[in-house]
Amino acid sequence: MSTVTIDTEMGAILASLGIQEINKGASTGAHWFNTRGPEIHSYSPVDGELIATVKSATEAEYEAAILKGQEAFKIWRQVPAPKRGEIVRQLGQKLREYKEPLGKLVSYEMGKSYQEGLGEVQEMIDICDFAVGLSRQLNGSTLHSERPVHRMYDQYHPLGIVGIISAFNFPVAVWCWNTALAWICGDVCIWKPSEKTPLTAIACQKITAEVFAENDVPEGVSTVLIGGAELGIAMSNDKRVPLVSATGSTRMGKAVGEAVGKRLGKSLLELGGNNAIIITPSADLKLVLPGVVFGAVGTSGQRCTSTRRLIIHESIYDQVRDILVNAYKQIKIGNPLDERFHMGPLIDADAVNTYLEAIAKVKAEGGNVLVEGQKLSGEGYESGCYVSPSIAEVENHYAIVQHETFAPLLYIMKYSGDVDNAIALQNNVAQGLSSSIFTNNIRESEQFLSASGSDCGIANVNIGTSGAEIGGAFGGEKETGGGRESGSDAWKVYMRRQTNTINYSSELPLAQGIKFDF
């Protein structure tokens, strides 16, 4: 990799992660291909510096990776699941050792705060821990047969190659959510990370290769292919990839889902969110403020679970609005590696332009911009990716409100009457990822969680929309894609289900009493 010396500390971090003198964008483990595709330049949104240039994978490298993955699967699927779990345990331990430098690289390459970068690596550690226990619990069911002297059960087998397409905003955690579970299930993984964050992907592959080499895991169980959309398209259309897990925009997810569906493959889609918090008259406002502000400006509004809409009862609307406007005046924006700052940059200049265009559309539709975000310039903002956050009074039906803007743009609106009216507003968008209600009224909270309540995959009470625990299944409904990752029984998507019937009698009874006389 042709690296640029940023400063002594960042150079040391890259070296500690094994990122030094390569410019290759494809690996099946310890082996790195001499890739010949177009160059991908990784610029930090923190300071605008070129961190590195990586040559992307080509169609030839993709084909080689698929063949290597198929070979590896024949070996990996025969390894007992608890032994696969032990290897994932070692990966979790290795991530603990690399937590600080990897978290700092995530922060520098993507732009989220250092604490959030550390938190993302901690999510990787947590899912490894979860997967270790799960490796001994890939349970099927024993069933009762209607035929005498017969036994039935169902069991789960690995699928084969799992394709992973990840987004820039969580450049390492989402990969690990998929791989930790897929690997203990017996699958092999091919990862196409966002071309906006190639270095974090290379770092993860190098860390994984260390563990796999120590355990004689074959090449092809973990593969990374760095490149553009063409790699995702190839993966989505490839019958040799039975499952494609894709995280990103709804537009991208629809294309992936359509391609995979045409070949009757399986897709796990984690797409856009348009997440709302309902604030009722009984809400504890001491809880509301940190929940809303972090949800709206954490990761600079670039989380799929970021708070986009605030639905406030009219009786407390003015009070909540004024508290928020005052809180936004106190948000400190700057280098995310400096813990004094609450908010870092957007990912790139295109994201900044999209954000500013969204604010203009709010005004054009009649919205009242209470806190208007601006592109920041001057000392500390040289990258051109820094903005200040926005709050706008809107109506839920505005076209721009119905659309997810991946930036720190918070919409606030009133509701009147009972909580059902607020829930109706919340549900009246195309997306269905995360939702939240702040209330001390048990009837309101239970209504929100009922079948006629929130239509989202995640519904929280007295906490914000942003983030999720490893132990729960993560994902959403409607245009969020319907996928589930991480905890609960999300592991089942990485396996194929098989029903078995065993006849241990000396006769062969046929269905529906049919008899053949021979």
pLDDT tens per residue, range 372-421: 999 999 999 999 999 999 999 999 999 999 999 999 999 999 999 999 99
- Residue 21's pLDDT is what? 60
DSSP state at residue 404: P
Instruction: Give the pairing type, strands 2-3 and 188-192.
Output: unpaired
- Is 271 a residue whose pLDDT tops 70? yes
Rounded distance between C-alpha atoms, residue 292 and residue 32, angstroms: 44
Strand stretches in 39-95, DSSP E: 39-43, 50-55
- Residue 14's pLDDT is what? 83
- Residue 2's pLDDT is what? 41
- Residue 5's pLDDT is what? 43
Rounded distance between C-alpha atoms, residue 138 and residue 81, angstroms: 8
- Residue 20's pLDDT is what? 72
* Closest by CA position to 104, among listed 128, 127, 121, 124: 121
> Residue 306 is encoded by which pair of tokens?
């970021």
CB 193 within 8 A of CB 175: yes
Rounded distance between C-alpha atoms, residue 171 and residue 44, angstroms: 14
- Is 264 a residue whose pLDDT tops 80? yes
Region 64-83: mean pLDDT is 98
What lies within 8 Å, CB to CB, of 271 at 6+ separation is 246, 247, 248, 249, 250, 252, 253, 304, 431, 476, 479, 480, 481
Region 453-465: mean pLDDT is 98
pLDDT tens digits, 412-422:
999 999 999 99
Residue 495, classed as helix, strand or coil, is: strand
- Is 128 a residue whose pLDDT tops 90? yes
- Residue 23's pLDDT is what? 67
Percent of all residues in the chain with a pLDDT value above 70, rounded to a whole number: 98
510 pLDDT band, cuts 50/70/90, is confident
* Closest by CA position to 346, among listed 110, 144, 9, 57: 110
Region 475-502: mean pLDDT is 97
- Residue 6's pLDDT is what? 47
Rounded distance between C-alpha atoms, residue 187 and residue 222, angstroms: 10
- Residue 7's pLDDT is what? 56
Rounded distance between C-alpha atoms, residue 23 and residue 32, angstroms: 10
Active-site residue identified among 304, 385, 404, 479: 304
Region 229-250: mean pLDDT is 97
Amino acid (one-letter) located at 136: R
Annotation says 270 is catalytic: yes
Rounded distance between C-alpha atoms, residue 182 and residue 243, angstroms: 10
Region 204-228: mean pLDDT is 97
13 vs 493, residue with greater confidence? 493
DSSP state at residue 398: -
What lies within 8 Å, CB to CB, of 491 at 6+ separation is 134, 138, 181, 184, 185
> Residue 304 is encoded by which pair of tokens?
């799929």
Alpha-helical runs (H) found in 217-300: 229-236, 250-262, 285-297
Which residues pair with residue 495 across a beta bridge?
158
Average pLDDT of the residues of the chain: 95
CA distances from 495 to 191, 194, 238, 396 (A): 18, 26, 18, 40
How many helices, marked H, and strands, marked E, lie in the chain?
Answer: 15, 23
Annotation says 176 is catalytic: no
Active-site residue identified among 195, 270, 404, 479: 270
- Directed axis angle between helix 229-236 and helix 250-262, to 10°? 30
CB 179 within 8 A of CB 83: no
* Closest by CA position to 62, among listed 174, 227, 263: 227
Burial 205-230 (b: 16+ CB within 10 A, else e): bbbbbbbbeeeebbbbbbbbbbbeeb
CA distances from 127 to 85, 92, 121, 175, 248 (A): 11, 8, 10, 11, 20
Region 322-351: mean pLDDT is 96
98 pLDDT band, cuts 50/70/90, is very high
